[in-house]
Amino acid sequence: MTATPAPSTETVVMKFGGSSVADPDKIKHVAQRLVDARVRGVRVVATVSAMGDATDGLLELARQVSADPHPRELDMLLSTGERISCALVAMAVHDLGYQAVSFTGSQAGIITDPVHTKAKIREITPVRVLEALERGRIVLVAGYQGFSRDTMDVTTLGRGGTDATAVALAAALGGSCEIYSDVDGVFTADPRLVPDARKLERVSYEEMLEMAASGAKVLMLRAVEIARNQDVPIHARSTFSDESGTWISHPEGLEQPLVSAVTHSADEVVFSLRNVPDRPGTAAAIFDAIAAEHVNVDTILQNVVHEAAELSFSVPQDDVAATHRALTEAQGVIGRLQVEEISDLGKVSLVGAGMRSHPGVAALMFRTLADEGINLRLISTSPIKVSCLIPRPDVERAVRALHAAFSLGAQ
Ligand code: ASP
Ligand code: MG
């Protein structure tokens, strides 16, 4: 083994997404990046996603075996994807002449709540990680998974969960956090749809939260939440270049951009409930049942016409079955409702911290979509975001039109 420089006290947590470890050559490339960082003298902890779309493959396999796979067994299955990539990267590091050791989430001390397929990290007790770092090793931690002390079972953190692993490890180890993927950073819009989309140098935590919640795929929403709560700056950058990417941190400077980005998603499903009794407790009964199914509700709208309320809300495609279960449960409490499910919708959103103090963004957004002949189904806002649910086939056109109308492109 080559002599490695004495480990410093500075720790970096490097996360590599599935496309960065998709094949043996890419795995060797990642190993080289880890060794390069180690040679610079920092302590290196890396967490990797499953190879390519291995997680989708495992999910598909589960569905072929069972129409409704048991959640505990699903987590046993899905957590293997990250164990594979993590062990392979450790082998590749060994071959470069450096010491590495790979850990499962539970070996790394990642303790979660017991909610299978959507577990939240409660704490990290990284005893073995620290011990290995002390001995100068490069540490690999299988992403996207943890262990529940309540049930003594393996859990997974939800799709994209390796981001959460990375940020939580950085917080626990007092290190910095670098998220590597096949894109150069966070853009003003999806560059696959908008050729002149621009890479953003900096994005505030709150903007990134809104962007992740409204469809930006670069970072998992919960990872950004952990980063904001624990004050961990994130550097989102490319695996395949040395260029600096986008920093996600507290805002700097006095002025914030009016609009930073246009985001979109294509998997919105809206539930519209009619004849909801207009009395205290009905919304509570409905959303208690929905929360018990761990459904991520986004937009909620209610209005009352002639003593009955009409209530609409949107959920991601993946949560549709759970939403149906919840509505059945709620109707047991409040009586029968008329339920309509509208599934051919998408969402476009504008996000910008400066919106808070500048009116007019919503007006220009609606005007732009009107000029494109696009019909708006639901509108929702936060202080720094305006979202419109629109017909799914219109989403790409809407993104391009808004990006141009707000002059977000490269100048
Ligand atoms: N492999 C998991 C997924 O595809 C977790 C991750 O990539 O972060 O969602
Ligand atoms: Mg993945």
- Residues 55-68: tens digit of each pLDDT: 999 999 999 999 99
Ligand in closest contact with the CA of 164: 1
- For ligand 2, the distance from its centroid to the CA atom of residue 20, given in whole angstroms, is 10
Is the per-residue pLDDT at 6 higher than 70?
A: no
Residues in the chain, overall count: 411
3-class secondary-structure state, position 26? helix
**Quick one: which H or E segment has residue 140?**
strand 138-142
Ligand in closest contact with the CA of 222: 1
C-beta 19 within 6 A of ligand 1: no
- Which residues have C-beta within 8 Å of that of residue 95, sequence separation ≥ 6? 28, 31
- For ligand 1, the distance from its centroid to the CA atom of residue 17, given in whole angstroms, is 8
Q: Which atom of ligand 1 is nearest to the CA of 220?
A: 8
Residue 127: which pLDDT band, with cuts at 50, 70 and 90? Answer: very high
Q: What angle do CA 88, 91, 94 make, to 5 degrees?
A: 155
Q: Do the Cβ atoms of 156 and 8 come closer than 8 Å?
A: no
How many Å apart are CA 364 and CA 371, to the nearest integer? 10
Residue 400: per-residue pLDDT = 98
Average pLDDT of the residues of the chain: 94
List the domain boundaries for the chain.
11-182, 261-405
How many Å apart are CA 394 and CA 380, to the nearest integer? 18
Residue 251: which pLDDT band, with cuts at 50, 70 and 90? Answer: confident
Q: Across the beta sheet with 300-305, what order do the strands follow?
A: 300-305, 308-316, 261-277, 338-351, 385-391, 378-382
Q: Across the beta sheet with 138-142, what order do the strands follow?
A: 100-103, 138-142, 43-48, 11-16, 176-181, 234-238, 246-249, 202-204
Residue 279: per-residue pLDDT = 87
3-class secondary-structure state, position 357? helix
Q: Report the candidate in 150, 144, 109, 104 with the shortest Cα–Cα distance to residue 126.
A: 109
Residue 249: per-residue pLDDT = 95
Ligand in closest contact with the CA of 85: 1
How many Å apart are CA 30 and CA 46, to the nearest integer? 10
Q: Do the Cβ atoms of 111 and 148 come closer than 8 Å?
A: yes
C-beta 148 within 6 A of ligand 1: no
* CA within 13 Å, CB half, 90: 21
C-beta 161 within 6 A of ligand 1: yes
C-beta 217 within 6 A of ligand 1: no
CATH 3.40.1160.10 fits 11-182, yes or no: yes
pTM of the prediction?
0.90
Residue minimizing CA distance to atom 5 of ligand 1: 160
Q: How many CB atoms lie within 10 A of CB 232?
A: 25
3-class secondary-structure state, position 103? strand
How far, CA to CA in Å, does 167 sit from each of 28, 138, 211, 222? 24, 17, 18, 10
- For ligand 2, the distance from its centroid to the CA atom of residue 204, given in whole angstroms, is 25
How many Å apart are CA 286 and CA 338, to the nearest integer? 13
Task: Give the least confident one: 150-154, 236-240, 355-359.
Answer: 355-359
Q: What is the mean pLDDT of residues 96-119?
A: 97
C-beta 18 within 6 A of ligand 1: yes
C-beta 55 within 6 A of ligand 1: yes
355 DSSP 8-state letter: G
How far, CA to CA in Å, does 126 sit from each of 45, 75, 85, 104, 133? 11, 21, 20, 12, 10
Q: Given 2.170.150.70, 1.20.210.10, 3.30.2130.10, 3.40.640.10, which CATH number is that of 261-405? A: 3.30.2130.10
C-beta 52 within 6 A of ligand 1: no
C-beta 144 within 6 A of ligand 1: yes
Ligand in closest contact with the CA of 83: 1
Phi and psi based region of residue 253 (left: phi greater than 0; alpha: psi -120 to 50; beta: remaining): left
pLDDT in tens, 283-303: 999 999 999 998 989 889 888
Q: Report the candidate in 327, 317, 220 with the shortest Cα–Cα distance to residue 269.
A: 317
- For ligand 2, the distance from its centroid to the CA atom of residue 307, given in whole angstroms, is 47
How many Å apart are CA 24 and CA 316, to the nearest integer? 34
- For ligand 1, the distance from its centroid to the CA atom of residue 145, given in whole angstroms, is 10
- Which residues have C-beta within 8 Å of that of residue 50, sequence separation ≥ 6? 18, 58, 81, 82, 84, 85, 144
Residue 304: per-residue pLDDT = 86
**Quick one: which H or E segment has residue 172?**
helix 162-173
C-beta 49 within 6 A of ligand 1: yes
Give the residue, out of 13, 14, 15, 55, with the most ligand 1 atoms within 8 A of its beta carbon, to mutate for a pocket test. 55
Residue 411: per-residue pLDDT = 65
How many Å apart are CA 403 and CA 391, to the nearest integer? 18
How many Å apart are CA 319 and CA 323, to the nearest integer? 6
Residue 296: per-residue pLDDT = 85
Phi and psi based region of residue 109 (left: phi greater than 0; alpha: psi -120 to 50; beta: remaining): left
How many Å apart are CA 23 and CA 83, to the nearest integer? 15
148 DSSP 8-state letter: E
